[in-house]
Structure 1
Amino acid sequence: MEEKFIIKLITNCFLQYSKESADLNTEDLEGMYQKVLQEKTENPHEGLHDIVNDIVYEYLTQ
């Protein structure tokens, strides 16, 4: 999948939660990107936006 597209989805998802993604470092974004790819591979029928939302929510509630 296109890495830039998924990173943009992650960034936009942070804005939905009224959180700035500017405070994210590259390692955090890369980690979330890898989780999205893994989850999409394990659950190919689940929507990409749903996966991204779940991962961002999990990150914010840690």
Structure 2
Amino acid sequence: MENKLLRKMIRNCFIQYQHDLESVPMSEEDYIRMTAEITEILQKEGDSDVFEVVNDVVYEYLSQ
């Protein structure tokens, strides 16, 4: 999946969790790590819903 699309989906998920564009608590390294994790999960579990995987990864990030 394209990296730009995943980044946009991650950002939109943060917005759903009551953040705005300026308050998204992500560094460039966080984006790289999260997109890599999402891509890995999607490759392992080919039938997974992309939106669910992104939501799960963002929720895990926020709950740390």
TM-score scaled by length of structure 1? 0.93
AA in 1 matched with 2:41:
E
User: Which 4+ runs in 1 deviate beyond 6 A?
Assistant: none
Deviation at 1:24, TM superposition (A): 1.1
User: Cα RMSD between the aligned structures?
Assistant: 0.8
Corresponding residue for 2:7? 7
AA in 1 matched with 2:3:
E
TM-score scaled by length of structure 2? 0.90
AA in 2 matched with 1:42:
K
State yes or no: 1:59 paired with 2:61: yes
Q: Specify every segment of 5 or more residues in structure 2 that has no aligned partner in the other structure, as ranges.
A: none
> In percent, how many aligned pairs have the same letter?
36
Q: Distance in 2 between matches of 1:3 and 1:24?
A: 15
Deviation at 1:46, TM superposition (A): 0.7
Q: 2:36 aligns with which of 31, 34, 41?
A: 34
AA in 2 matched with 1:46:
S
Richer in helix (by share): 1
